[in-house]
Structure 1
C-alpha cells in the first residue's frame, strides 16, 4: 500500500504561512485546507517537515482511507492495513478516534476495532504510548494516520523558561511571516516575557534548524531511525555568521528577563539578541539601524490583566511607538479590538487565529 500523503496541522488561522513554508521545503502537491496543509509524500518527507518546519503543529502520515458503514467493516479493513510498513512490531502505539456525521459514532468502539487490527499485526496498543494512530471517521469515510511528531512542534527543546500566557513558537513564526520578516530586519518586543518573538526571529535569521534540540516519533517508526541525520543538511547547532545584536526584548519583570537570557543561551543565539528590564516609556529604537519590526503580545484581559486598566497600557505603547519608531512596521497581538484601537495607531487586523481557545488577531500597521 502506498502512503496516502501528509497532513501538516496548522495553528487555526495560520494556514497561509504554513503553506508558504511547505512550498519552500520542496513538498509537492501542496494544498491548503481548513486546519492545515495536505501534501504528497511519505515518512522521509514527514521527517523533513518535522525537523525544518517553524509553523507546523505536527505532521500526520496518512496510511489508510476507506468507507466504513458499520463496526464489522471497520474491523475487517483495519486488519488489512499493512501496519508493519510504518510501525515496528513490538513497539506500542496508542489509538485515538474522532467520529462525526457517521453511522459509526461511538469513539470507544472505533478505537477497539482499529486496535484489534494493530494487535493482529504484532503492534501492541497502550494508552500511554508515544506513537499515536489517529482515526477520523467523517461522513462514513475513515481516514487513518500516524502522528510522526510526538510532542507538538512548538516545543523546540531549548526554551525551558516559560512566562505567563506565552506565545507559542509556531504561532510566533507565523506572525513574523505575516509581518514580512525575512531575517534581515531588526525586531523589537517591548513586552517580551520569555522572549519567544525575539528568539524565533534570531533563529530564523541565523538559519538554525528549529528541530535541532529535540527528538521526534518518526525516529521510532519503521525506517525512521536514520532520517534525522539525512535532513539536517548542516550541523545541528551551526548557523549563519553572527552580524551583531539585531533582536531586542524588554520587560518590566526581572524574572522574565533572566529566563529569556537563559533561553537564548540554550538556543545558541545569545550573540544576536539582547534582553533588558525596561518600562514601555523608556523604549527607544536600536542605535544605528534602519527601521525594522516591533511585534508584541501584550496582556489583553483574557488570562492576564484587568481590561479596564489595560487601555492606559495600550495608549502608552501606541504613543511611544508613534513618537519614536517612525518608519517601523508594528504588529500587536490581542483578542480585543478595542484595546488595539486604544493605541491610536492605524492598524488592520490579520486573523482570527486560535490561541488555546481564544480568538486573537495580529493588528498590523506601518508607522
Structure 2
C-alpha cells in the first residue's frame, strides 16, 4: 500500500468548468498541479492540505490521500482498509462516514464497501455520508472511498463545510452566486486586482467581495474553521503560524476601485452587510442597468455580471429586452473594458446581447448549464 507520511497528496475538486482556474491558482501558489477528472492533484510537504484550504479561492474542498491499494475482491478491500494509516485523522472513537464512488468496480455496490469498512475497523456498522456539496455530514470524520476497476483510493475530508462557505455571506439575493464560482470567473477573466471592477447587477455583492479579497491578497479561508482542526494529529501551533503568515500578506484595503449597482434596494442592503462582514468597503449605488452611467474619469477595468436566467418564480420581466439593454450599456458605458458575463445556455438571450465575439466556456451555476462569456469591449 502507498501512503504519504513525509509527503502529502491531496485531491481538490472544483465546480464544473473551473478546473483551469483552480490549476492556475495552484500554480500561482508555487505548486505543480496535475489536472485530473473534476479537479487537480497536488503533492507537497506536510501541511499542504491546510495551505490548500486556506488559500485556494476556487476549490470546493480538499481531500487528503490516505492510501491506494489493489482491491480485486471484498477480501482484499477489507484488508486494504484495515491497513490504512488512520491515526492522524481518526482517534478510533465513533465511526467515520464514507462517501463511496464506484467506477467500473466489480463490487455489488456501496453497501459492500460499507460492510468491508465495518469489518476492517471492528465496528458494528459504518454509515454512508450524505451529499457533501453544501457541507460535511456532521462533525465526525468523512472518508472518500473511490474504487476504479480493481484499485481503491481512500482520502479524508479536511474541509468540513464546503469551501464556498467563506463566512461573510449570511444573506443572499434572489439569484445567489456561489463564492467559488465568482472567484473562478474572475480568475478566468484575468482580473488583476488593480484595475476597477464593476458589477452593474451586483445582487448580494459576491463578485465584488471576492474581487476585493483578490485585490487585498487576502486568503479566502481566514475567517472560517476546517475539519482538519479536529484531527488527532492536528498541530495547532503550525496552523497558527500558517494563518499568521497569510494574515501578514494581506493588504489593509483593496488596491482597486470596486463598484456595484442594482435596481433592487434590498439587494444593495444585503451586499452592504455582506461586505461589512467580509471587512471590505464597496461603492454601491442604486441604478438601473438600462440607464447606468459611470462616473467621469474612471479608468477601464473589468465589468462582470450574472444577469437573471428567468428560472425563478416571479421573474416575469422581458428577459430578451433586459439582455438587449445590458448589451447596450456594455457597448456604451463600458467601451474599452474587459467583460465577463455568466449567462444561461439560451441562444435567444445570447443574440439579444449583441456583443462582439467572445470566448465562451461551459460552466454550471446551481446545476444549470451556463456559458461564461469573456471578451474585450470595443
Task: Name which of 142, 148, 166 aligns with 1:156.
Answer: 166
Match of 1:280? Answer: 289
Match of 2:4? Answer: 2
Task: Name which of 217, 226, 232 aligns with 1:222.
Answer: 232
Match of 1:251? Answer: 262
Secondary structure class of the residue paired with 1:342: helix
Matches within 5 A, 1:99-178: 99-119=102-122, 128-130=137-139, 131-178=141-188
What stretches of structure 1 of length at least 5 have no aligned partner? none
Q: Is the 8 A contact 1:209 1:237 kept in 2?
A: no
Secondary structure class of the residue paired with 2:47: helix
Match of 2:332? Answer: 323
Per mean C-alpha deviation after superposition, the further-off stretch among 80-89 and 152-161 is 80-89
Per mean C-alpha deviation after superposition, the further-off stretch among 297-306 and 168-177 is 297-306
* Corresponding residue pairs, total: 363
Distance 1:191 1:118, change over 3 A: farther
1:14-53 residue CA offsets vs partner (Å, 9 max, x unmatched): 111110111122224x211221001113650010010111
In 2: Cα distance, 1:11 partner to 1:47 partner: 20
What stretches of structure 2 of length at least 5 have no aligned partner? 130-136
Task: Name which of 358, 372, 378 aligns with 1:348.
Answer: 358
Distance 1:15 1:212, change over 3 A: same
Match of 1:21? Answer: 25
Secondary structure class of the residue paired with 1:330: strand
Distance 1:98 1:259, change over 3 A: same
Q: Is the 8 A contact 1:188 1:248 kept in 2?
A: yes
Per mean C-alpha deviation after superposition, the further-off stretch among 107-116 and 231-240 is 231-240
User: Once the 2 structures are TM-superposed, how far is the Cα of residue 88 of structure 1 from its aligned partner?
Assistant: 2.7
Q: Is the 8 A contact 2:100 2:128 kept in 1?
A: no
Secondary structure class of the residue paired with 1:65: strand
TM-score of the superposed pair, with normalisation by structure 2: 0.89
Q: Is the 8 A contact 1:7 1:62 kept in 2?
A: yes
Match of 2:220? Answer: 210
Q: CA RMSD in A?
A: 2.5
Distance 1:244 1:236, change over 3 A: closer
Per mean C-alpha deviation after superposition, the further-off stretch among 147-156 and 305-314 is 305-314
Match of 1:185? Answer: 195
